[in-house]
Structure 1
Amino acid sequence: MASSLRALLVEDTAVQRMVVSAMLRNQFHCEMTLAKNGKEAVDMFLEGNTFDIVFCDRDMPIMTGPEAVVKIRAMGATDVKIVGLSDDDNAMEAFISAGADDFVPKPVRPETLGPMIQEVINKKLEQLATLA
């Protein structure tokens, strides 16, 4: 069953945006929304957009990933799974302390994302089952 997840990818590097969003769209059938920095992501939440999962790079202009995570969580977006992305091993601590649920080292690989996507799908299915 391909339950389409709404995914937000926050990444300032065009190549990374292209690679990761294609992976999420093609392999995991996610509905993709893209943001170039943390501020764009925060603005999307302020506009009332909702996502099932957010993948967020750490080092971006205007607003970093961890800064965006803090702001998104402060808005009350606690149901969304937020995953930090970085090629810096020290970024994991920054993301987790900011309120992210998980961390993925770059380069991002499908076998790393698969279990996280499945977890969100399972959570959505459980919520649907309790409503039925």
Structure 2
Amino acid sequence: MTSNGQGSSSVKALIVEDMAVETLIFSTMLQIFHCETTVVKNGKEAVDLFLKGKKFDIVLLDNEIFLDEDMPTMTSLEAVEKIRAMGEIDVKIVGVSVDNNAGEALMSAGVDVFAPKPLKLDVLGAMIQEVIIMKNNTMV
């Protein structure tokens, strides 16, 4: 798990991605928007953070997290269901996938938005802006 506290944005982002290149791309994109970023490699690690009381404003969740046969973990869909079952309804969960057919399953599991890979910077920027507006409205 890595964390990057760059910038002054109050947006806390969680990246759930097992591929180093994709993690780097997402991290770089989030840095542009001055997000405080935490990275985990699988759904179990993400759920564990929520169980420890960590709070995030947005989660970028890869749908293609590979399950290691020697050390089984939970799928992205299971992670979303568990996070939502904990009452985490204010966090914006973005399901990302190269498989355009994954959107329906991700939405059924509880993600707010499906975004096909490669994730476009302007699309992510609009989502971050929505999160900021939502946070400001709840603080009033």
- When normalised by structure 2's length, the TM-score is 0.87
Does residue 17 in structure 1 map to residue 19 in structure 2? no
Among 76, 79, 83, the alignment partner of 1:68 is: 79
In structure 2, the partner of 1:4 is: 10
Instruction: Tell me how far 1:105 sits from its aligned partner.
Output: 0.5
Report the secondary structure of 1:90's partner residue.
helix
Report the secondary structure of 1:20's partner residue.
helix
In structure 1, the partner of 2:39 is: 34
Does residue 84 in structure 1 map to residue 90 in structure 2? no
Counterpart CA distance in 2 for 1:126 and 1:81 is: 15
Counterpart CA distance in 2 for 1:118 and 1:16 is: 22
One-letter amino acid of the structure 2 residue matched with residue 22 of structure 1: T
Counterpart CA distance in 2 for 1:103 and 1:65 is: 13
In structure 1, the partner of 2:48 is: 43
Structure having the higher helix fraction is 1
Alignment of 1:106-117 (within 5 A): 106-117=117-128
Q: Does structure 2 retain, via aligned residues, the 8 Å contact 1:3–1:121?
A: no
Instruction: Tell me how far 1:4 sits from its aligned partner.
Output: 2.4
Alignment of 1:47-62 (within 5 A): 47-60=52-65, 61=67, 62=73
Figure out how many residues of one structure are paired with residues of the other and give that number.
127
Instruction: Tell me how far 1:64 sits from its aligned partner.
Output: 1.9
One-letter amino acid of the structure 1 residue matched with residue 37 of structure 2: M
Counterpart CA distance in 1 for 2:111 and 2:77 is: 8
Among 120, 126, 129, the alignment partner of 2:137 is: 126
- When normalised by structure 1's length, the TM-score is 0.92
List gaps (5 residues or longer) in structure 1: none
One-letter amino acid of the structure 1 residue matched with residue 60 of structure 2: F
The two structures, once aligned, show a CA RMSD in angstroms of: 1.0
One-letter amino acid of the structure 2 residue matched with residue 14 of structure 1: A
